[in-house]
Structures are given as C-alpha cells and as structure tokens.
Amino acid sequence: MIWDFDYSSVSAIAKLLEENGLSMTKKFGQNFLVSQQVLDRIVSQCGGLEGKTVWEIGPGIGALTTKLLKAGAAVTSFEIDHGFCRILREKAYIEESRFRLVEGDALKNWKDLYNKEGTPDVICANLPYNVGSIFIASLIEGRCVPQRMVYTLQSEVVQRMCAKVGGEDYSGFTVLTNIDYENREAFRIKAGCFFPPPNVDSSVVVMQERPEKLVPEELVPRLVSLVRVLFSQRRKTVKNNLKGLGLKNEELGKLLATAGVPSGERAEKLSMDQLIALTKEFEYATHCSHSKETFE
Ligand code: SAM
C-alpha cells in the first residue's frame, strides 16, 4: 500500500518531521524535491518502468520513490537517515511488496546487494550532492552498469559528465562516466523546487548505456587507473604524469607514439579513442614484460 501524502506541501513535510522528532540535516545533503512536475519529468527520463528493478539512493521520506512505484517499478531504496527510514517503513510503504529498504550508507551497502542480485535495470535518484560523484564513480569502478541511470546532481558535476575533450570541464570524471555511457543533461531544476532550496544549481543527467562497448571489459580497470594517474596533475604533460609507472623513458616515448599520443600533450586534450589506445599499449607492454618474467 502506498501512502497518500502531499509531498508538494512544505508545511505538511515540516509537520511530519516535527511530529516524528526529526529535522533536515545539511550533512546528508537533505533537499527534498517538492515540485510534482519536476518529479514526473525525472521519472519519465527513466523510460518505461513497468516490471523494472530500480535502485534509488536517498529516498528521504519518499517523494521520488512514490512516483517510481506508481510507474510500476520494484524499488530498492538506500537511506542513511534512520528517522526517515522509520517513516518509510512504518508509514509510507507498509506491506508494499514492490518496496524494499536498505538502511545505512549506500556507498557501503550497494556492493553487497550487487554481489547477491546483480545490476538493477535502472538507478534513479535525487542524489545527496556531497556524495553524488563519489557514488557514481564507485558504481562504475565496481562495474555495476545498469542500462540507464537518471540523477539529480549539482549542475557543475553534470557539466563535467557531459564535457567535450579539450574543454574546461573535461576531467578524469568525464572519462570515467563516458566509458559505458552516453551522458546528457536533460533539464535544470530551479532551487525553489526543493525544500530547503540548495545554494548550488541543479540539473538532471541521463546516463544511457552505450549500444556498443567502447572498451573491452578486461581493459576497464587499467583504463581507470591510467586516467587517475593522467588527471592527477593536470598541468603536467601526459609523458611526465606517466613516468612513475615503471617504463623507461625511451619505452614510454615509443608507447605514446604507437598510441598516437603526442608526448607533450596534456590529459585534458586526450580523446576517449586516444585514452583507449594508450590503455591497450600499456596492457601490451606489461603483458610482454610478464611473459619475459615467466619464460626467460
Ligand atoms: N529523494 C528525496 C527527494 O527527492 O525529495 C530526498 C533527496 S535528498 C537530496 C538526499 C537523501 O539522501 C536524503 O534523504 C539523505 O538522508 C540521503 N543520503 C545522504 N547520504 C546518503 C548515503 N551515503 N547513503 C544513503 N542515503 C544518503
């Protein structure tokens, strides 16, 4: 059974929190979406949800959760605030068989569920901004890659996810989030659509899994670690950033040339194709040195 609560009413929310001895805390990035129109637009970006499995991070008291359930999804929500969890369990979704709550830190808890049940069809969340990019990065590095993810995030983070090579916003996070996905900013959300209004700009990003893989699965960990090194010091050239990886200067020069990467280039100028080529060359160089160790 789904609770009939007026999520658009700030006074109803304030009353509910007060009655339950709860308050909103900045520490957990608690800004509830009160605009029903915005919530509907977010859910519509998820595509058809009937019969789909959806993970939601940070349901709060359930504004987005209710919309996802009404769209026919089976929803697993991860919530850290034990007071909100009590409301979800005891008021909002009593005996609602398509709702499941995982209480605690989503950053710690998602992996257990993933190991047991695999990837959900969709992840949809109004993410707490303080952990938004960390959460997305942890999914991708942990290889939890649902067909679609729809997130409300700080606009600045969305710009990085959608940045083009060479641009100011192009970063290691751009590359990481583009390995498996095509990202687009669906729309912006005005601060007044939240309670309380956040003091940063907000956007909804849609991450759609690529129809064809850009990177062979076995190369992903190597690409991720290379990206981390390459973007660690943006002002340094690619060659200087890679010097610590154990290759001789000459070897490194050759490897960069074979991958089509000018050695004086900076990481922010490297396209996905160049980064993938570089990853393959590194994999090959290490593989050869392994073979030598084994067979000589
Ligand atoms: N989904 C609700 C909405 O749209 O109105 C609330 C979104 S609010 C921006 C973020 C929610 O994430 C809060 O309920 C907060 O308690 C929760 N949260 C913050 N950090 C979390 C974490 N590490 N794991 C799980 N939930 C978290």
Question: Along the 296 residues of the chain, how does pLDDT read in single tens digits?
Answer: 778 899 999 999 999 999 999 999 888 999 999 999 999 999 999 999 999 999 999 999 999 999 999 999 999 999 999 999 999 999 999 989 999 999 999 999 999 999 999 999 999 999 999 999 999 999 999 999 999 999 999 999 999 999 999 999 999 999 999 999 999 999 999 999 999 999 999 999 999 999 999 999 999 999 999 999 999 888 889 999 998 887 888 989 999 999 999 989 999 999 999 999 999 998 888 765 544 333 33
Q: Is 57 in the pocket of ligand 1 (CB under 6 A)?
A: yes
- Atom number of ligand 1 nearest to Cα 58: 12
CA of 247 to the centre of ligand 1 (A): 44
pLDDT for the residue numbered 281: 92
CA of 78 to the centre of ligand 1 (A): 8
Q: Is residue 57 a contact partner of residue 144, using CB atoms and an 8 Å limit?
A: no
Does the global pTM surpass 0.85? yes
pLDDT for the residue numbered 248: 85
**Which sign, positive or negative, has the C-alpha torsion 66, 68, 74, 78?**
negative
Q: Is 128 in the pocket of ligand 1 (CB under 6 A)?
A: yes
pLDDT for the residue numbered 285: 82
- Atom number of ligand 1 nearest to Cα 25: 16
